[in-house]
Structure 1
Amino acid sequence: MADTVKFTAMKDGDKEDYEFLTAHEIDYAARTGDRLLDALVQLDEGLSGYKITRLGHSLQAATRAWQDGADTDWIVCALLHDIGDIYAPYNHDEYAAAILKPFVREQCTWVVEKHGDFQRLYYAHHLGGNRHARDRFAGHLYFDDCDRFCERWDQSSFDPDYETLPVEFFRPFVLEVFARKAYDPAVIRAGERVALTNPDTAKTRTGA
């Protein structure tokens, strides 16, 4: 069997070519979770200036989510919410949301996509900006979820003394999410809300 398609221009491809490519793409897509974990590690080399690296921040946010009893979707979104910092510094939130969108709840995608505006509450006024950029989303079904995501897991996760779980701890969560069927309505659950925190689950994880 050929290792490549026969064509050099897409319009010249035939059924055999595109069936061949589809098989390759399915196999490649199945390893998305592994590639994202590799990319996450690159955040350790990204611009920081904070007391911890971007990777440390991402791991700390995910650790807080896990300790709060959050479900898998929330944990993975907390881990990957800043994955776009290296390649899309001016719209990193949209970049991360685009990656997550086919595989997590609509609720979580919206929160990741908008968290940049919500985070402005904590700093924009110091730079002459609008700290209330989030207000244009007032009344949205997921507004309070994004507010809580930022308050509990994002803005608070720059502490070098916090006991943060390692990347490998979160590998099974990431692989589970990206092994899902893309855009499965049973996963997307449009219009549904799931609490960020679950005290009963949190007790089993922290022993508190």
Structure 2
Amino acid sequence: MKDGTREDYLLLGRLEEAYVAELPERILAALRGLANTLSGYRVSRLEHVLQSASRAEDDGEDEEMIVAALIHDLGDDLAPHNHSQYAASIIRPYVSAEVSWVIEHHGLFQNFYYIHHFGGDPLERERYRDHPCYQRCVDFCERWDQASFDPDYPTRPLEHFAPMVQRIFSRRPFDPEIIGEAPDEQARS
């Protein structure tokens, strides 16, 4: 890289800009891929995230949280043991720090419902009890994540959410007007 010229990097910058502009379509393609993942549930992983997003929308959530609910399990295929952090890293540049925190921690908070069957501690999330986003993550898991395995729920198709995905992932990354102050910093202020 040290031998690159200004012209080389201007060209690469233009090519990268065009590639980044296609991010919403790659997100939608990755979501479609969830139709053929982890079996054993009454709905596919795609149906689960569509149902989570539908429930968030039905509850009157804003577009950031609806899209977050849609992509929250996007990491299941490639990062099964840290899928929450994977999904959060994808959405973090485009949403508020609060939404990013909820997605990053939802896997740990979701353990509340089942980890005792594997000898784990369902109350591990309590270490975040004083965090400003604690209740928001509890609500995310209770209302939209753990509840979204119902094959009879009126779930909207991916096409319904595509314009939202387009808007969120076309934002200027790390825009301070959008991401705001980190929740940990809010607690110290």
TM range (shorter): over 0.9
**2:35 maps to 1:35:** no
Structure 2 partner of 1:203: none
Question: Which of structure 1's runs of 4+ aligned residues deviate more than 4 A?
Answer: none
Which of 135, 148, 151 is matched with 1:157 structurally? 148
Residues 9-158 of structure 1: matches in 2 within 5 Å?
Answer: 10-158=1-149
Structure 1 partner of 2:187: none
Q: Which amino acid is the alignment partner of residue 177 of structure 1?
A: I
Structure 1 partner of 2:169: 178
**Structure 2 CA distance for aligned equivalents of residues 179 and 80 of structure 1:** 15
Percent of aligned positions that are identical: 49
Structure 1 partner of 2:186: none
Can you list the C-alpha shifts for 1:146-180, whole angstroms capped at 9, x where unaligned?
00000000000000011100000000000000110
**Structure 1 CA distance for aligned equivalents of residues 180 and 147 of structure 2:** 28
Which of 169, 178, 182 is matched with 1:187 structurally? 178
Deviation, structure 1 residue 93: 0.4
**Structure 1 CA distance for aligned equivalents of residues 67 and 9 of structure 2:** 33
Deviation, structure 1 residue 48: 2.3
Aligned-partner SS, 1:101: helix
**Structure 1 CA distance for aligned equivalents of residues 81 and 140 of structure 2:** 20
With structure 2 as the length reference, what TM-score do the two structures score?
Answer: 0.95
**Structure 1 CA distance for aligned equivalents of residues 40 and 178 of structure 2:** 37
Deviation, structure 1 residue 191: 5.1
User: Which has more radius of gyration?
Assistant: 1
Q: How many residues align?
A: 183
Q: Which amino acid is the alignment partner of residue 132 of structure 2?
A: L
**Structure 2 CA distance for aligned equivalents of residues 127 and 26 of structure 1:** 46
Can you list the C-alpha shifts for 1:122-161, whole angstroms capped at 9, x where unaligned?
0011111111111111200100100000000000000001
**Structure 2 CA distance for aligned equivalents of residues 42 and 159 of structure 1:** 20
**Structure 2 CA distance for aligned equivalents of residues 22 and 63 of structure 1:** 37
Can you give the 5+ residue segments of structure 2 that lack an aligned partner in the other structure? 184-189
Aligned-partner SS, 2:52: helix
Deviation, structure 1 residue 189: 2.1
Q: Which amino acid is the alignment partner of residue 137 of structure 1?
A: Y
State the Cα RMSD in Å. Answer: 0.9
With structure 1 as the length reference, what TM-score do the two structures score?
Answer: 0.86
Deviation, structure 1 residue 50: 0.7
Can you give the 5+ residue segments of structure 1 that lack an aligned partner in the other structure? 1-9, 193-208
